[in-house]
Amino acid sequence: MKKSVVYTIFALLLVLVAVLAYLFLSQRQEMNEMVEQMTIEKEELEDEYEDLAIQFDGYQQMDIRNDSLQDLLSREQQRVQDLLEELRTTKASNARRIAELKKELATVRAVMKDYVRQIDSLNATNARLTVENQQVREENQQVRTRNEELTQANTALTETVTRAAMLEITSCSITMLNKKDKKTRMASHARKLQFDFVIAKNITCTPGLKELYARVITPAGELIGEEENKVFAFESGEVPYTMSQQIEYSGEAYSGICYCLLDEEYKVESGFYTVDFFCEGNLIGSFPFQLKK
């Protein structure tokens, strides 16, 4: 083989080696730059996870009066801590896992936003209920004062009428019934109020068919079931009533039941109520009672 051919082949080999060396160094530089960039992104991602963990700590210190929400917050807080620990042990060169952890961060943030919304709503509700409770206490006090005033007025009224020929309801118990006519202790479930009353024996009262009227007054001082055509004569005017019932009175003690029906839209509030019974133009019984939520 001629020397010129050998020299040519040798020169080509040198060029090939140089190209390969250049490509290797270039690729290695790119890899180093990529690893350096991934290291920076990993550190930034760790900072974001740490900030999120601090936010969860802050919400855990709040007075959240909801055990279910408190448990969910604790669970997500532990999840953030676990992901942060995994991120710290993940190599910067593991781009796929770092990308997955970044998506996990976005998911946790979305969940946290929803929890924050629930917490804000819960705090707003608690603040509103605090104000409402104060208002209810004030209204109840007003109702008690009003009931005391009514009692005094009723006492003065009864002293001016002839007791001998007048009916008198001596006792009355109240039962709340739901829409299935079952007893309930919650005012919000009540759709009917049952009044079990007893009229005292009075042989001086004229026996016969009598119309009994009842007025149910709410804690706000409003009459339940007030309608323009539902009135009865009392003193020198007409008074609206809640319910009426005819009874056959013989002069002996009489036990009866009457019902106050509540519309579906009517919201029964807890508090102190009053039921007043009237017959033949006279107030024959007044009973305060309390409904509870």
Write the CATH number for 181.
Answer: 2.60.40.3880
Confirm whether 136 is domain-assigned.
no
Confirm whether 152 is domain-assigned.
no
Residue 183 and residue 278 in one domain: yes
Residue 111 and residue 208 in one domain: no
Residue 13 and residue 66 in one domain: yes
Spell out the per-residue pLDDT of the chain, length 293, in tens. 556 666 677 667 776 766 666 666 666 665 555 556 667 666 776 677 677 677 766 666 565 666 666 676 677 767 767 766 776 777 666 777 777 777 777 777 777 777 667 766 666 666 676 777 777 787 778 878 777 877 776 666 555 545 667 899 999 999 999 999 999 988 888 999 999 999 999 988 889 999 999 999 999 999 998 888 899 999 889 999 999 999 999 999 999 999 999 888 888 888 999 999 999 999 999 999 999 87
Last residue of a domain, one of 105, 127, 149: 127
Last residue of a domain, one of 127, 151, 174: 127
Which ranges of the chain does DSSP label H, i.e. alpha helix? 3-60, 67-89, 95-159
Confirm whether 132 is domain-assigned.
no
Report CA-CA distances (Å) from 151 to 13, 97, 148. 119, 78, 5
Confirm whether 158 is domain-assigned.
no
Residue 185 and residue 280 in one domain: yes
Residue 46 and residue 123 in one domain: yes
* Residues contacting residue 181 through CB under 8 Å, at least 6 positions apart: 192
Confirm whether 62 is domain-assigned.
yes
Distance in angstroms (rounded) separating the CA atoms of residues 92 and 99: 11
Number of structural domains (the chain) is 2
Confidence at residue 32, expressed as pLDDT on a 0 to 100 scale? 54
Residue 223 and residue 172 in one domain: yes
Distance in angstroms (rounded) separating the CA atoms of residues 215 and 158: 17
Confidence at residue 67, expressed as pLDDT on a 0 to 100 scale? 64
Q: Is the pTM of this model over 0.95?
A: no
Residue 18 and residue 74 in one domain: yes
Phi-psi region of 225 (alpha: psi -120 to 50; beta: other; left: phi over 0): left
Q: Which of 221, 197, 203, 206 is nearest to 286 (CA)?
A: 197
Residue 95 and residue 168 in one domain: no
Confirm whether 277 is domain-assigned.
yes
Confirm whether 189 is domain-assigned.
yes
Residue 122 and residue 173 in one domain: no
Confirm whether 110 is domain-assigned.
yes
Confidence at residue 37, expressed as pLDDT on a 0 to 100 scale? 63
Phi-psi region of 215 (alpha: psi -120 to 50; beta: other; left: phi over 0): beta
Confidence at residue 23, expressed as pLDDT on a 0 to 100 scale? 64
Residue 178 and residue 268 in one domain: yes
Residue 39 and residue 98 in one domain: yes
Domain range spanning residue 202?
164-291
Q: Which of 161, 131, 245 is nearest to 199 (CA)?
A: 245
Residue 111 and residue 212 in one domain: no
